[in-house]
A and B are shown apart, each in its own frame.
Chain A
Amino acid sequence: GESVGLHLPTLSVQEGDNSIINCAYSNSASDYFIWYKQESGKGPQFIIDIRSNMDKRQGQRVTVLLNKTVKHLSLQIAATQPGDSAVYFCAELFGNEKLTFGTGTRLTIIP
């Protein structure tokens, strides 16, 4: 079956630098994408979402980019802070309300 995957399982970034977390998806019919942040021992927290009729969406310090041509999704975090250390999941939604999650990328912020 089709699934959402991530290019890198771990990422270390210097505090204050920008970070980019990537995600590849294979279902070209997916029409809704979500990024979640999960801190240790907690449930995933919604960060930002984007629908397939958009290619960019910005939030507070975060930007999601969607490239439908190559089926690629990215999360950019500006001016990273220690609190940004977590596992980040992308997820895609197609049709029947069931999200397909990627395996996650662990982001570590180096002080």
Chain B
Amino acid sequence: SQTIHQWPATLVQPVGSPLSLECTVEGTSNPNLYWYRQAAGRGLQLLFYSVGIGQISSEVPQNLSASRPQDRQFILSSKKLLLSDSGFYLCAWSREGETQYFGPGTRLLVL
């Protein structure tokens, strides 16, 4: 069966510090991968998605970037965090045309 992992689970970072969140998927190959952000009590905002290694599509202009160095690894990064980057970050995977399955999420608080 397939599993998706995210770490860390929670993170508190000062404004201006860098960020690296990691997501890995097990049990499948060549998945589509996604990064979402969810503000408290709100819906899901798609940030990036990838259909293959090195292929990244950005949905909204922002202070964040994504990379896919391996087939089942998806990384969300920032060089300098802003207060507005606080939120709940979710990684998801899917096969083409099928359901997206979400990871447990990373709660980021920027102070």
Contacts and interface: CB of A to CB of B under 8 A. Distances in A.
B1 interface: no
B105 A99 contact: no
Contacts of A49: 99
A103 B43 contact: yes
Given A32-B97, A97-B32, A97-B97, A44 B46 contact: no
Contacts of A93: 97
Interface string B28-68: 00001000000000111010010100000001000000000
Nearest to B102: A43
Nearest to B59: A98
A90 B95 CA distance: 19
Given A41-B107, A42-B104, A49-B99, A101 B32 contact: no
B87 interface: no
A64 interface: no
Nearest to B107: A41
A103 B101 CA distance: 18
A34 interface: yes
A69 B43 CA distance: 26
A5 to B, nearest CB: 10
A12 interface: no
Given A42-B105, A43-B102, A43-B103, A97 B96 contact: yes
Contacts of A45: 102
B27 to A, nearest CB: 15
A99 B43 contact: no
Contact of B46 (A42, A46, A98): A98
Interface of B: 32, 42-44, 46, 49, 51, 59, 90, 92, 94, 96-97, 99-105, 107
Interface of A: 32, 34, 36, 41-46, 49, 89, 91, 93, 97-99, 101-104
